[in-house]
Structure 1
Amino acid sequence: MFKIENLSVGYQNTQILDNLSVEFPSGAITGIIGPNGAGKSTMIKGALGLIKRQNGVARVDQRPIESHREQVAYVEQRANLDLTFPINVFDVVLSGSYGRLGLFKEPSKQDKQNALSALEQVNMLNFKERQIGDLSGGQLQRVFVARAIVQAAPIVILDEPFAGIDMKSESEIMSILKTWRAEGKTIIVVHHDLNKVTDYFDHLIILNRGIVAAGPVAEVYTKDNVSKAFSADLGNVLFTDDNDSKQEGVSHE
C-alpha cells in the first residue's frame, strides 16, 4: 500500500496542494487525471520528496518513503528529461539495478542480463547502443519502462507516459502495466487522455488543487465529478444526461 498523508506543497505565493491525503491500492492500476495546473505532477513529486513540501508524508506499508526509496520506480515526464546527456539505451536500463547495489559495486553479469531481457520485453533490444537523444518519444518511454522492469520495485509511478507517443508503444506499455498488476504491484499513472480512463484504470483520482473524487473507476468517473474538476461543458461532452455513461472521449492536457 502506498499512501500520501496531509501533503501540502506551494510555489512562491501560490498554494497548490493543502493537506491532501489519498491511498493507492496494490494489485491495481490507478489513474490520476485533472486539468492543467491541477497539481498532478506536483502531488507525485512532493510525495517522493523530489520537490520541497511544506507538510505531509508518503508511506509504503506504513513506513516513511524516505527510508524505502528502492520500493518505488518513478518514470519522469519526457519533457523534463535531459536528452542531451551522453548515455545509451543499455546503460539507462542497467541503471535500474543501481538501487540494489552496495557502495562502489559494479553491476553483475546477471544485472546486465536482466537489462537485456527487459529491453527485449519492450521490443527495444536492437536499440541498446543508441543514444537516448536519438530515440522517438515512444521508444524513449519504452526504455524507461524497461528500466523500471530492472528495478523490480513493488510500486511504479509513471508521469504522463502516453503523451506524444505512438499507439504501438502505448499498447506495449499498457501490456506491461497489466502484467505488473497481475503480480500485485501498485501502479500509478498521471494521465491526460480522458478517452482511455475506463479502458486503462481500475481506480481513479480526479484532482484539481485537491481531491475531487477517488476510488474505483466505475464510481468516480462520472459526469458530476468531471464537471467539478474540469468544466460542465466537458462533462456534457463525455456523458449523457440520462444514464451518465461515457459517450465519447477527448484528450485534455
Structure 2
Amino acid sequence: TGWSDMQTTVREFDTEKVKASKEDIDALLLFAGLYSAVLAAFSVFSIGFLLPDRGAETVVLLRELVSQGAASAGQAVRRTRRLPPAVTDDSDFVAPTWAVRVNILWFASLVISMATASYAIMVKQWLTEYLAMEYASPQERLRARQYRYPAMKSWHVFSIAALLPLLLQLSLGLFFIGLCYFTAAFNRQLGLTTLPLVSGWIFFFGMAIISPLLSPRCPFKVTLLKHTMKTGREHFPFLPTL
C-alpha cells in the first residue's frame, strides 16, 4: 500500500507538470500555424519587390512604340515628362534596400516560426514518452520514474519547452520590425503610425520580462525565467526568488 500511494503521488505530480507544458505547446502550435499562414502571405507578396517589374517594362515599351508611331505619322506628341529607358537586362536591376531588409526579416521570422512548431512537436513527444510506463507493479514504476526524472532535468527538457514561446515571440518581433520598414516605404504617415505601436509592444514585452527580476512579488512569471533564476541562484545567492 505504501508503494502504491507513493507511486500515485509521484504520478500526479508528473502528470500535472507535463500537462501544463503540453497545454502551452498546444496553444503555441495553434498560434504558430495561424501566424505562419499570415506571414507566408506577406512574404510571397514582398519577394516580388526583389525582382524586376515586368509589367512596368511592358508599359514603358508600349508607350515608346506609340510615341514612335505617332511621330512617324507626322502627329505632334505632347510629353508631360521624359519617359524612362526600357530595362532589357536583368543584371541592371537593383532591388530597393527596404525590400531586401523586409524580406530578410520576414523570411527569418518564417523560418523561426516553422522551426519552433517543429521543436514543439518533438518536445510533446518527449513528454508523452516520459509518462509512458510499461511496468505493472508500483515499485517498478517508481524505479523507472526515478531513472527518467534526473535525465529530464539534466537534459533540460522542461526548459526547452519553456523556451519555445520565447522563440515564437522573437519571430513575431522580427515580423513587426519588417512591417515598420514595409509601411514606411509606401507611405510615411503609415510608417509613423506603425512604428510607435511596435515600439510600445517591444517596451511592454521587455518590462514584462524584467519586472519579476526587480520585484519578486510581480505576477508576470515566465517559466523559462524561473528555471534560469533558479540555476543562477546556485552561483549568485543574491538573486531574487521568483
Fold match by TM threshold 0.5: no
More strand by share: 1
Which entry has the higher C-alpha Rg, 1 or 2?
2
**Which TM-score applies when normalising by structure 1?**
0.24
Larger relative contact order (C-alpha < 8 A, sep ≥ 6)? 1
**Which TM-score applies when normalising by structure 2?**
0.25
More helix by share: 2
